Amino acid sequence: MDTLSGKVAVITGAASGIGRACAIALARRGTSVVVADIDGQGAGSTATEITASGGAATAAWLRTPTSFPTIGGLLSAVLYAVPKQASSAPGADPRTRGTTLMRKIDLPELDQAAFTAKYGPWAIIAGASEGTGACYAEQLAAMGINLVLVSRRKEALDALGLRLQDQYGIEYRSLTADLTEAGAGGRLVEATADLDIGLYISNAGADGAGNSFFGAPVERSLRLLTMNAANVLEASHGFGNRFLARGKGGIVIMSSGAGLGGQPWLVMYSATKAFELNFVESLWAELDGQNVDIVGIAAPIMDTPTLRRATEGLGMDYSMAYDPADVCALALANLGKEPLVLVPDGPDEAKIPQLQADRKSRLVALAEWGKAYTAAAGA
């Protein structure tokens, strides 16, 4: 057995170059790696690459070389990465499953060849510069699917695209877009008219907690409504019609557990994410039998750069967060199988699996009723 297996290694300057190479090499030998760097995005990218390949890693953003928050954050990351005894016993603490102190998911099998044949050769990811978007990009690139990467930060998109191009031999295109602007969803469809897109992933739409609906300008709420409703609708309509014309394709909508019910101080986020869940369910039933699939994910709290920035200095226990790579893999594995995937999270998480089953049963019943009504109306 490798003497480094099961150990924890802290590597500073690991966002690129020799540090990054050392982190990847150690992870391949079974070491849990803390990827630390003042380049938080680069550290996150290295950690994402390691976890996507089956290794154990967490990123630590060293904000300044000598600050106390830097040391505290590094110690927190070390504790986060300490290997724990795996357990699959009923009732075992989900935070200690797997090899790191992180909520893990038992992932179903994915037939990558079949997935690529149906949803390739190109996929477009709206909101791809970091976090779950980068995880989706990594996992799709590993299957040989070419990528259109979309966000407001072209530099970050190109860095990700070039790395995946070098590593997996795929092609990529970066598109700069502000998805809070009206018409942005339609422009994505137009900008990719020359590509054989088979998969559209809506991954934008994060919003920090603690925002008062009445205390913020109404324009802020309208921008979130545009991003999470109008532009998701436009892009889904455009790409969906292209998929129907080509006879195959898929849509993944990253919603949130916040959409399962009202949530104070996340009013517009909760409301627009509820729209996405209902939107997906309805389309799932309408698309039945047409070889075009759609799935919505009620995403849980995930340890992403967005979460880290939003909760900085709040003393949050990040071990309660899920691995974003797992959530993305779960979404891809359920495309073509389920209308919604509700990841257990929050104060009522024990009820979530039953809630998912109940929503699907209701949807199937309504779909059958709708078919019967339509047939009777046309008779």
Q: Which residues are CB-contacts of 340 (< 8 A; sequence separation ≥ 6)?
A: 277, 280, 281, 295, 296, 297, 298, 356, 359, 360
Backbone phi and psi for residue 357, each to the nearest 5 degrees, phi listed first: -65, -40
Query: Residue 119: what pLDDT?
Result: 98
Q: Measured between alpha carbons, how far is residue 327 from residues 254, 302, 312, 367 in Å?
A: 10, 8, 23, 28
Long-range contacts of 302-310 (CB under 8 A, 24+ apart): 302/131, 302/132, 302/327, 303/58, 303/102, 304/44, 304/130, 304/131, 304/132, 305/40, 305/41, 305/44, 305/59, 305/61, 305/130, 305/131, 306/130, 306/131, 306/206, 308/40, 308/61, 310/208, 310/209
Query: Residue 101: what pLDDT?
Result: 59
Q: Measured between alpha carbons, how far is residue 67 from residues 16, 38, 71 in Å?
A: 22, 11, 7
Is 269 marked active-site? Answer: yes
Of the candidates 174, 146, 179, the residue with the CA atom closest to the CA atom of residue 160: 174
Q: Which residues are CB-contacts of 178 (< 8 A; sequence separation ≥ 6)?
A: 152, 184
Among 200, 273, 318, 322, which one carries the catalytic annotation? Answer: 273
First to last CA, the chain: 72
pTM (predicted TM-score): 0.74
Q: Find tokens 């699939």 and name the residue.
A: 293
Q: Which residues are CB-contacts of 331 (< 8 A; sequence separation ≥ 6)?
A: 252, 254, 295, 297, 341
What is the number of residues in the chain? 379
For residue 264, the SS3 value is coil
Q: Which residues are CB-contacts of 238 (< 8 A; sequence separation ≥ 6)?
A: 185, 186, 188, 189, 190
Among 269, 351, 371, 373, which one carries the catalytic annotation? Answer: 269
Q: Which domains does the chain have, with CATH numbers?
A: 8-83 (3.40.50.720), 112-375 (3.40.50.720)
The tens place of each residue's pLDDT in the chain, 379 residues long, gives 467 777 888 888 888 888 888 888 888 888 888 888 766 667 777 877 887 777 888 776 554 333 333 343 444 444 334 343 333 322 223 333 333 456 889 999 999 999 999 999 999 999 999 999 999 999 999 999 999 999 999 999 999 999 999 999 999 999 999 999 999 999 999 999 999 999 999 998 777 666 789 999 999 999 999 999 999 999 999 999 999 999 999 999 999 999 999 999 899 999 999 999 999 999 999 999 999 999 999 999 999 988 888 777 777 778 889 999 999 999 999 999 999 999 999 888 999 999 999 999 999 999 999 888 877 777 6
